[in-house]
Structure formats: C-alpha cells, structure tokens
Amino acid sequence: SFSAIFFRYQKEAANITQDLEACANEVAHDAFSLVRTIRAYGVEKEETLRYKHWLKKLTFVNVRESLAHGLWNMSFNTLYHSTQILAVLFGGLSIFAGHMSPEQLTKYILYCEWLIYATWRLVDSFTSLLQSVGASERLFQWIDLLPSSQFLCKGVKLQQLRGDIEFVDVSFCYPTRVQALVLQRVNMSIRSSEVIAIVGPSGSGKSTLVKLLLRLFDPTDGEILVDGHPLKDLDIRWLRRGVGYVGQRRQVRR
Ligand SMILES: Nc1ncnc2c1ncn2[C@@H]1O[C@H](COP(=O)(O)OP(=O)(O)O)[C@@H](O)[C@H]1O
Ligand SMILES: [Mg+2]
C-alpha cells in the first residue's frame, strides 16, 4: 500500500509540475511580448516577482517530490539490509545448530539479493512510467478535443460576397466573463462599398463587433446577417477569406 501511495503521488506530482511550468512560461511569454510596455511603465520588478511566484511553487513541488523519492529509497534500503542481517543472523544460528549448511545459506542470501534488486529496479521503472503517464495525460486530453462545430458543419458558400452587413439586436458577453455584457441589443446596417468608422472609448466593444463578424465568437443573442444570410449558415472558411482584417497589436507604441 505504501508503494501504491508513492506511485499515485509521483503521477500527481508530474501533473502539477507540468501545470506550474505552463503558468511560469505563460508569465514569461507575456512579459517578453510586452517588454516595451513593461519598460515604459517601469514595472520590471513586479513582472519578475510574478515569475518568481510560480518558480517558487515549482521548487516546492519538486523538493517535495525528491523528498518522497528519498524516503522511498531509504525505506526500501532499510528493509533490504535489515533482511540480510536477519538472514545472516538466523542462518548462522541454524548452521551452528546443524539445520543448514553454509552453502545453503550463501545460496539463499544470493537469491534473495537478486530478487530484491530486481524488484527495486522494477519499482524504479514503474515510477518513471507513471511519471510519463501523468505528463502525457494532458496531451491526450488535447488530442481528444473535437474541432469546433463551426468547422464540422459545412455552410453555404454564396456566389459572391457583396458585403452588406446587418446586426439585428445583437447582445454579447465573452464566455469567460458572462457577467459583463459587452454588447447590448446592437442594431446597425452597413451597405456594401460603404466606408464607415466606429468610434468609442476604449473597451466599449468596437473590436468585439469585428470579432463577431468574423465568427471568432457567436452572439449571445440576436443575429448577424451578411448579404441577407445569417452568419451561422455561411461556410466559415469562405466567409473569413472574404474579410480583410487588421487586428490591433498588443504592444502599445509611442
Ligand atoms: N477575450 C476576451 N475575454 C473577456 N473579455 C474581453 C475579451 N476581449 C475583450 N474583452 C472585454 O470586452 C470589452 C470590449 O472590448 P473591445 O471590444 O476590445 O473594446 P474596444 O475595441 O472598443 O476597445 C472590454 O471590457 C474588454 O475588457
Ligand atoms: Mg479595440
């Protein structure tokens, strides 16, 4: 039961290590891609601390894992050597009593040594195997993910994309922040070849309108029509190929 606990622990530790590494990498990646902004605001220290926070957690888990491994090896070795001592002790007594010959005892101890050594190696390999299983679990989760339904069902491809756009009572909140309604019953109609500018304060939902038009998200409520066809009925790849899009860069430039 001790080895069962140890195995489960090793597997979980591998999982946690992976998650923590991912968090630390994300922070580092964010910081490097926004390095100009970070410099401009002088928040290098805070960013370093954020990275250190995850590294500390990672160290904690790794130290704990090493301790568990050490404890495991120690208890196994203690058991192994104490059995040897007992075998020599009781075997020696048996030899003196004439129940056993010295060759028999030597054979017995050698066989035991092989058996125990083999078991120990086996457990060690099994531990590595379980660590790999723990680490690959996340990979299989990703592999098992199905493509978005947007790509699975084939939509309509129109003969030509004219570019009439209509938003009908469109409401939207991001799936990760359902409590914040970004768009509330937006109605607008843009005719093909018309040039328009949408103006509003930062965070008012201008980019969100474009994301909805590209079907990067679907409206929570209401409908978007392109050339009179609901966006949901159109073939998504065909639609996106017909839309020119220049996203805003994440870097703030002077
Ligand atoms: N991926 C996202 N997940 C959650 N909230 C978001 C996301 N993108 C934008 N938002 C939020 O939606 C609101 C509108 O954002 P956005 O459309 O980018 O505004 P604008 O382009 O007008 O500055 C903001 O409050 C923003 O914080
Ligand atoms: Mg924007």
> pLDDT tens digits for 156-205?
888 899 999 999 999 999 998 899 999 999 999 999 999 999 999 988 99
pLDDT surpasses 90 at 251? no
Task: Break the chain into its structural domains and give their ranges.
Answer: 2-144, 152-241
d(CA 65, CA 135): 15
For a mutational test of ligand 1's pocket, the pick from 208, 211, 250, i.e. the residue with the most ligand atoms closer than 8 A to its C-beta, is 208
**Measuring CA to CA, which residue among 161, 171, 157, 152 is closest to residue 212?**
171
Give the per-residue pLDDT at 246: 84
Find all residues with CB under 8 Å of 51, minimum gap 6, and list them.
24, 27, 28, 31
CATH class of the domain whose range is 152-241? alpha beta
Give the per-residue pLDDT at 249: 62
**Residue 203 Cβ contacting ligand 1 at under 6 Å:** yes
Distances (CA, A) of 247 to 16, 184, 242: 35, 23, 16
- Range with lowest mean pLDDT among 37-41, 126-130, 184-188, 241-245: 126-130
Cα 220 to ligand 1 centroid, rounded to whole Å: 15
Minimum CA distance residue for ligand 1 atom 11? 203
Q: Which position has the higher pLDDT, 249 or 130?
A: 130
Q: Of ligand 1's atoms, which has the minimum distance to the CA of residue 208?
A: 17
**Residue 127 Cβ contacting ligand 1 at under 6 Å:** no
Cα 151 to ligand 2 centroid, rounded to whole Å: 26
Cα 207 to ligand 2 centroid, rounded to whole Å: 4
**Torsion angle of the four alpha carbons 165, 201, 246, 44, in this order, in degrees rounded to the nearest 10:** -150
Give the per-residue pLDDT at 250: 55
29-64 per-position pLDDT tens digit? 999 998 999 999 999 999 999 999 999 999 999 999
For a mutational test of ligand 1's pocket, the pick from 171, 176, 177, 216, i.e. the residue with the most ligand atoms closer than 8 A to its C-beta, is 177
Here the tokens at position 46 are: 């805070």
CATH superfamily of 2-144: ABC transporter type 1, transmembrane domain (1.20.1560.10)
d(CA 35, CA 50): 14
Q: In CATH terms, are 2-144 and 152-241 the same topology? A: no
Give the per-residue pLDDT at 252: 45
196-233 per-position pLDDT tens digit? 999 999 889 999 999 999 999 999 999 999 999 999 99
Give the per-residue pLDDT at 254: 41
Minimum CA distance residue for ligand 1 atom 7? 174
pLDDT surpasses 90 at 245? no
